[in-house]
Structure 1
Amino acid sequence: MKLAVVGGGSTYTPELIDGFARLRDILPIEELVLVDPAADRLDLVGGLARRIFAKQAHPGRITTTSDVDAGVADADAVLLQLRVGGQAARQQDETWPLECGCVGQETTGAGGLAKALRTVPVVLDIAERVRRANPDAWIIDFTNPVGIVTRALLQAGHKAVGLCNVAIGFQRRFAKLLEVAPSEVYLEHVGLNHLTWERGVRLGGPDGADMLPKLLAEHGGTIADDLHLPRPVLDLLGVVPSYYLRYFYAHDEVVRELRTKPSRAAEVAEMEKRLLTMYGDPALDEKPELLSKRGGAFYSEAAVDLAASLLRGGGSEIQVVNTYNNGTLPFLPDNAVIEVQARVDRSGAVPLAVPAVEPLFAGLIANVTAYEDLALEAALHGGRDRVYKALLSHPLIGQYEYAEALTDRLIAHNREHLAWV
C-alpha cells in the first residue's frame, strides 16, 4: 500500500507519522511519500519521519519529493494538508478583517474566504494529477476550509472525503471525563465543518445512553471555560458547540480580543521555527511535546481510521467526516457538504440519519451553506462581484459597507494567488 501526503513538509506531519507507526496493524503502509515544494522543510520533516518509523520498527519506506506527479504516482490514497501562501498569508487573513471590525480568522469570515480562493484552484490541480496517476485513489482532505475544499473535489468528480479533528478531540475529551475508552463514546455530531454541535454523547453507539446531560451538569463549567463561552449559554443551548461557534456567538468580544494580542498566525510561526529546529536534531526520534500545542491533536488517529476504512474496510465502520448531504439534512441541498457521522467503507462515506435539527442551529447552518455556495463560485470562477456577494452573504459580515471594504482588502492582500486579478 502506498500513501502520499501533499504538504508533507508541514510541522503537523510528525503527528501523522506517529499515528502511522503506532497503528500499522490497522493501516499497513509499505511506502509513504511526503510531497512539498519547500525542500528545506521537507528534509527536516522527512528525516524525523524516518527516525520515528525506525524507532517503532515500522517496515515501511519513507521518501520525499517536491514533484507532485512523482509523489502521487500509483498512490492508493493521497492526504492533502496544504497551506497556500504559508503562515504569511495566514497572518494577513487574521489581521486585515479586523480593520473593518470583523473577525480575522483563517477558516471563517473574510479570512476564511481568502484562504478558500487561494486554495481551491491548487487543490483541484493536484486532484487532477492524482486522477491521472490512479483513478481509483482516494483523496482525504485535511486542508482548510475543509467543507468548501471537499465540495470542490466532489463537484469535480473526485473520490474524496473531508476530515477534521474537532469531533475526535471532543470524543477524547468526553471519554476522559466519563472515564471510559474513547471507542465507547459516540457523538451526535452535526453541522458543517467548523460549524458543529454535539447534541448527544452516547455510550456504546447510536442507541446507547446519552451522557450529555451528565457531562453538562457535572463538568459544564470546565467545558464552557475550554470553549471560552459563559456557562449559562451552554446550559441554555443544551449542547456543546464547536469552539469555532464563539466567532458567531461572541463576535464583537472576539474582535476586541484579537485587536489586543498577537495573532495566532504569529504564535504558530514562532512555534514552527522551534519545531523545525527540533526536527533537525538527529537524536530526536519521536514527536516532541511542543507539537501538541501546534493544533491538529488526534489528527493521526482520525486519518488512519479513515484511510483504513476507505482502502481496506479495516477502520471503524462509523466515523465523523465531511461528505455530500444527499438528503441527510432536509433543509440543505443534496450537494451541500456536511460534517456528520457516516458509514465508511471502500465505496466511500454515507451519512447516517440525523434527528431533526433545531431551528437555532439549522438557520445558521443554512446561512453558512449559502455562503459556501457563493464562496466556491468565487474560488472557481473569480471576479470581484463574486467575492463581494460571498462576503455579503456571510453571517459574520452581512453589511454592504463591510463587504465592499473587505473585498478590496482581500484582493489587495492576495493578488499573487488569484489568477483572475
Structure 2
Amino acid sequence: MKKFNLTLVGGGSTWTPGLLQSLCKMKDRFPLKKLIMFDIDAERQAIIGEFAKILFREQYPELEFHYTTNVEEAYADVDFVFMQMRTGGFKMREKDEKIPLSMGILGQETCGPGGFAYGLRSIRDMIKTINDIRKYSKDAWILNYTNPAAIVAEALRRVFPDDKRILNICDQPVNLLRSYGRLLGKDPNEFEPVYFGLNHFGWFTHLYDKEGKDLLPELKKLILEGGFKPADAEQRDKSWLDTYAMVRDMLIDFPDYLPNTYLQYYYYPDYKVSHLDPNYTRANEVMDGREKRIFAECKRVAEAGTAKDSVLVHNDAHSEFIIEVAESIAYNKGRIYIVIVENNGIISNIQDDAMVEVAAVLTANGPRPLAVGKIGTFYKGMMEAQLAYEKLTVDAYFEGSYEKALQALTLNRTVVSAKKARQVLDALIEANKDYWPELK
C-alpha cells in the first residue's frame, strides 16, 4: 500500500491535535511516510508540535515527523497538503463578530459582515500559500478547509483556473450526516446524500440508505417531534447546541428540505442578533474554552512525556472527513462526499461559474459531481443573492473597490440596508487595515 508525504498548513490550529490523533487512528487506511506541520506562528505551533512528537513516538513510530516555519521544508516533495489557516487568528475573529453586533447587525465567523471581513483576509494568504506549494510540489493535492470556504473557493477559481488539484471542502455537511445517523440509529457512512447549495448555504433534498430508501421523511418527522442535536452533543459548547436546535424552526417554516445549520443566520438575522451577546461572542467562547483546553493538554503531555492517557476533546468529523477525502483520491475509491466545485450545469438554472456545494464521486482524477437539475424559485432566489454577494466580495478584493464591497454587503441578507452596510464596512476597513487591500 503506497505511503504518502503530507503537509498540514496551520499547525498551530486548535483543530490540529484532533487531526493528528485521527491520522494515527486511520493510518491503515491512509498511511503516511512523512508528515510536516507548517505555521507562520512558531511559538503557537511548537506547543502542538511537541505534543505530536510524543503522540507519534507512541502510536506512529514509523512516521517521519517534524514541524517548521520554512516554506521549502514544508512543501518540497509532498503528495497532499491539508490547509486550515486563520489569518488574523481569534483576535480578528473577535472583531469580525463584535463590530457588526455593536451596530445591531449579525456578527458571525463566516456569515454576513464577519465572513466578509474574514474572506478578504484569507484570500491573500491562500494565494501565496498555493503559489508556494506549486513552486515545490506541482502535483500535490491541496485539500482546503480554510474559511470562509465560499469566498476562498471563488478567489482560487479565478487565480488558478487550470489547477485541478485544489479541492475546497467543509465538514459541516458531514457533521449533519453524523447527527442524522445518531437520530435514526443508523451508520451515517452508509448514507447516500443528495445535497445542493453554496458553502454554509445548502439543503439536503434526499438521504438514501443502502437499500435505496429515502430517510428524509422519517428524519424530518423525528426533528419536528423531538428537536435536533449534533452527533457529538456531549462535547459541544452551548452555542453549538443552540445552533442545531434551530434546525427544527427552519424545518417548520420551510419543510421541503433539511437545511444546513448556517442558513438560520440568513433566515432569521434579526432574531439571531437579539440572542447574541455583543460583549461575549463565539470567539470568546472558543478562546476561553477549546483553545485553553487544547493547549493546556498539549503542554501537559509534553511535560509528562507520554500521550497514553491523553483525551483531547475534538470533532471527529472535522479530522476524519479530510482524511477520508484524501483516501478516496489517493486510492481511487470513488466514494461520495459533499464538496465545493464549479457548477458547470450541475444545478442547471444557476450560472456555470458558481462555486457550488454538491455531492460528488471522488476519484484519483478528482471529483465527479452528481447532477442536481433545476431548483425551485425560493432556493434559486436565495442562492443567487448569496452568490452575487460572494462574487462581489471577491471583485472588491481584486479591484480594490469600495463600491463593490458596499454592493456585496448590501446584498447580504444579514445586512440588507445600504446605510448599515456602509457603516459596518467603514468600521471593518479600519479594523482590517493591516490585512485588506486598500478599498477606493
**TM bracket, shorter-chain basis:** over 0.9
Inter-CA distance 12–330: structure 2 relative to 1 (3 Å threshold):
same
Give the alignment partner of residue 166 of structure 2, picking from 149, 160, 168. 160
Cα distance in 1, alignment partners of residues 151 and 308 from structure 2: 33
Compute the displacement of 1:165 (Å).
Answer: 0.9
**What SS does the corresponding residue of 1:258 show, helix, strand or coil?**
coil
The residue identity in structure 1 corresponding to 2:204 is: E
Task: After TM superposition, list the pairs within 5 Å mapping 1:85-104 onto structure 2.
Answer: 85-104=88-107
Residue identity matched to 2:263: L
Q: Are 1:228 and 2:245 counterparts?
A: yes
Quick one: distance in 1 between partners of 2:124 and 2:275?
33
Q: TM-score, normalised by structure 2?
A: 0.89
Aligned ranges 1:129-278 → 2 under 5 Å: 129-157=132-160, 158=163, 159-204=165-210, 208-220=212-224, 221-223=226-228, 227-229=244-246, 231=248, 233-235=250-252, 236-259=254-277, 262-271=280-289, 272-278=291-297
Q: How far does residue 232 in structure 1 lie from its aligned partner after superposition?
A: 5.9
Does the aligned pair in 2 maintain the 1:106–1:112 contact within 8 Å?
Answer: yes
- Partners of 2:384 and 2:247 lie apart in 1 by 25
Q: CA separation of 1:233/1:151 partners in 2, compared to 1, >3 Å: closer, same or farther?
A: closer
User: Structure 1 residues 177 and 270 mapped into 2: Cα distance closer, same or farther (>3 Å)?
Assistant: same
Instruction: Report deviation, 1:49.
Output: 2.1
The Cα shift of 1:233 comes to 4.1
CA distance in 1, matches of 2:157, 2:61: 33
What is the Cα deviation at residue 6 of structure 1?
A: 1.0
**Residues 1:287 and 1:168: Cα distance change in structure 2 (over 3 Å):** farther
Match of 1:291 in 2: 313
2:423 aligned with 1:405: yes
> What SS class does the counterpart of residue 280 from structure 2 fall into?
coil
What SS does the corresponding residue of 1:376 show, helix, strand or coil?
A: helix
In structure 2, distance between residues paired with 1:369 and 1:27 = 35
Counterpart in the other structure of 1:118: 121
Displacement of 1:410: 1.2
Q: CA 1:132–1:57 in structure 2 vs 1: closer, same or farther (change >3 Å)?
A: closer
TM-superposed CA distance for 1:41, in Å, is 1.7
User: SS at 1:167's partner residue?
Assistant: helix
- Taking the aligned partners of 1:330 and 1:394, their CA distance within structure 2 comes to 23
Among 394, 407, 417, the residue aligned to 2:412: 394
Q: Aligned to 2:438, what secondary structure does the other structure show?
A: coil
Judging changes above 3 Å, is the alpha-carbon distance between structure 1 residues 237 and 335 closer, same or farther for their aligned structure 2 residues?
A: same
What residue is the counterpart of 2:237 in the other structure? Answer: none
Q: Does the CA contact (< 8 Å) of 1:21 and 1:58 recur in 2? A: no
Q: Specify which of 279, 304, 321 is matched with residue 302 of structure 1.
A: 321
Task: Tell me the distance in 2 between the aligned counterparts of 1:289 and 1:199.
Answer: 37
**Gaps spanning 5+ residues in structure 1: where?**
none
Give the TM-score, by structure 1 length. 0.93
Residue correspondences, number: 415
In structure 1, give the amino acid aligned to 2:391: D
Which residue of the partner structure matches residue 280 of structure 1? 299
Identity of aligned residues (%): 31
CA 305–286 in structure 1, closer or farther in 2 if over 3 Å, else same: farther
Shift of 1:278: 1.1
Gaps of 5+ in 2: 230-241
Of 339, 346, 351, the residue aligned with 1:333 is 351
Contact 1:317 1:345 (C-alpha < 8 Å) held by counterparts: yes
**Closer, same or farther: CA 141–230 of 1 in aligned 2, 3 Å:** closer
Q: Distance in 1 between matches of 2:203 and 2:58?
A: 39
Say if 1:74 and 1:133, in contact at 8 Å, map to a contact too: yes
Instruction: Say if 1:118 and 1:379, in contact at 8 Å, map to a contact too.
Output: no
Decide whether the 8 Å contact of 1:228 with 1:246 is kept in 2.
Answer: no
